[in-house]
Amino acid sequence: MSYHKKEEFDKEPTEELIKTYRSIIGLLGEDANREGLIKTPERMAKAMQYMTQGYQQDAVAILNGARFQEEVSEMVIVKDIELFSMCEHHLLPFFGKAHIAYIPNGYITGLSKLARVVDVYARRLQVQERLTTQILKAIKESLNPQGVAVVIEAKHLCMMMRGVQKQNSVTTTSAFDGEFLNNHVTRNEFLKLISARLS
């Protein structure tokens, strides 16, 4: 095997997080030194830093890095982009799908970059509403398109495991700009296309 993916974590925050998680485990009534838990604080420290790595990433720079001049003005849609984020109120996951569309205005971007933009903002402490508009704004800033639309459907573990304990409720948020905001025919076409299931 010649491919190695290496994860790196800064020493200082990682050690501080390990100490803090060990203390949290103790405060929850567990013995942080028992065998099954002994490496848990370290795993948590690394997992949480992984899941919040978006703070160090720049969505507009990612889009600009694969921006190409192209005279097309047809709607570009990427739907069913898997999304995993963490609610900032309970630090519990919410997860689901993002659907993104834009109408180019001289520029297009790599399709995979749209999925990366979702990750940049999802890997932060979030609320679904803000996540939706941040994705929209990054695309608007980089591509200056004729219109952008973002729809996110997600399930929130903080609603499923605690609180109201609703297992099947899905929260949908949307943000529209330009043509998608001003032209209901365009908006409806997008909504129809993302709700159509290929069979």
Catalytic residues: 87-90, 128, 156, 158
Q: Which of residues 87, 122, 150, 152 is near Zn ion by CB under 5 A?
A: 87
Nearer to Zn ion, 113 or 123 (CB): 123
Q: Is residue 162 at the binding interface for Zn ion, with CB under 5 A as the rule?
A: no
The size of the chain, in residues, is: 199
Supply the minimum distance, in Å, between the C-beta of residue 89 and Zn ion: 4
Question: Judged by CB under 5 A, does residue 158 bind Zn ion?
Answer: yes
Q: What are phi and psi of 60, to 5 degrees?
A: -65, -40
Residues 43-72 that bind Zn ion (CB under 5 A): none
Contact (Cβ atoms closer than 8 angstroms) between residue 75 and residue 190: yes
Among 67, 90, 137, 140, binds Zn ion (CB under 5 A): 90
Q: Which is nearer to Zn ion, 37 or 158 (CB)?
A: 158
Q: What does the buried/exposed string (b/e) look like for 183-198 if buried means 16 or more CB atoms within 10 Å of the residue's CB? A: eeebbeebbeebeeee
Grouping H, G, I as helix, E, B as strand and the rest as coil, residue 14 is helix
Rank residues 77 and 158 by Cβ distance to Zn ion and give the closer one: 158
Residue nearest to Zn ion (CB): 158
Residues pairing with 68 in the sheet: 108
The one segment of 23-31, 45-53, 84-92, 141-149 that binds Zn ion by CB under 5 A: 84-92
Q: How many CA atoms within 13 Å lie on the side-chain side of 13?
A: 11
Spatial separation of the C-alpha atoms in residues 178 and 94, rounded to whole Å: 29
Residues at the site binding Zn ion, with contacts judged by CB under 5 A: 87, 89-90, 158
